[in-house]
A = this chain, B = another copy of it.
Amino acid sequence: MVQRTTGKTGLHLVDDKQDCVRCGSHHCCFRSGLDDDQMKALTRIVRLRGPYKPGEAIFKIEDPFKSLFSIQSGAVKIESISQGGNRDVSGFYFSGEMTGIESIGDARYNNDAIALETTWVCELPFHQLELLCGVIPALQRQIMILLGEKIRRTNSMVVQGRHMKAEQRVMYFLHSLCRREAIRHNLSSNKVHLPMTKGDIASYLGLRPESLSRALTKLQREGNIRNSAKQIELLDRGVAYEFACE
Per assembly, the copies of the chain total 2
Interface residues on chain A, size class: 35 or more
Query: Which residues between 139 and 155 of chain A lie within 8 Å of chain B, taking CB atoms?
Result: 140-141, 143-152, 154-155
Interface string of A119-143 (1 = CB under 8 A from B): 0000000000011011101001101
Please give me the residue from chain B that is nearest to A129 by CB atom: B144
Point out the residues of chain B lying under 8 angstroms from A151, CB to CB. Answer: 101-102, 104, 147, 150-151, 154
| A86, A151, A161: residue with the most chain B Cβ atoms closer than 10 Å | A151
Q: Does A38 contact B (CB under 8 A)?
A: no
CB-defined contacts of A144 to chain B, threshold 8 Å: 104-105, 130, 143, 147
Q: Is the Cβ of B162 less than 8 Å from the Cβ of A88?
A: yes
Counting CB contacts under 8 A, is A45 at the interface?
Answer: no
Name A's B-contacting residues (CB within 8 A): 80, 82, 84, 86, 88, 90, 101-106, 110, 130-131, 133-135, 137, 140-141, 143-152, 154-155, 157-163, 206
